[in-house]
């Protein structure tokens, strides 16, 4: 996911992509206020819960 989205590996990016990977594997919805992270989640068909 990191390579496909042209992200440099920082602690923040690593944590984001670890969370997305877990959410995708468990097939559960995701909540975030980070608009960039929402775009990436939607790209991988991860359901986003809007609050």
Domain residue extents for the chain:
1-51
**Residue 51 has what pLDDT?**
77
pLDDT digits (tens, 9 = 90+) for 3-40: 777 767 677 788 888 899 999 999 999 999 999 889 99
Running DSSP on this structure, what letter comes out for residue 17? H
Coil, helix or strand at residue 30: strand
- Is the distance from CB of 44 to CB of 1 less than 8 angstroms? yes
The answer to whether residues 44 and 25 touch, using CB atoms and an 8 Å cutoff, is no
- Which residue matches tokens 């602690």? 11
Rg (CA), the chain: 10
Residue 45 in this model has a pLDDT that exceeds 90: yes
Q: The tokens of 45 are what?
A: 């068909």
Structure tokens at 23: 């959410």
């Amino acid at each position: 996911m990191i390579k496909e989205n042209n992200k440099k590996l920082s602690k923040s990016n690593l944590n984001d992509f670890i969370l997305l990977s877990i959410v995708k594997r468990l097939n559960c919805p995701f909540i975030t206020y980070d608009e960039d992270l929402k775009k990436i989640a939607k790209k991988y068909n991860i359901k986003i819960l809007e609050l």
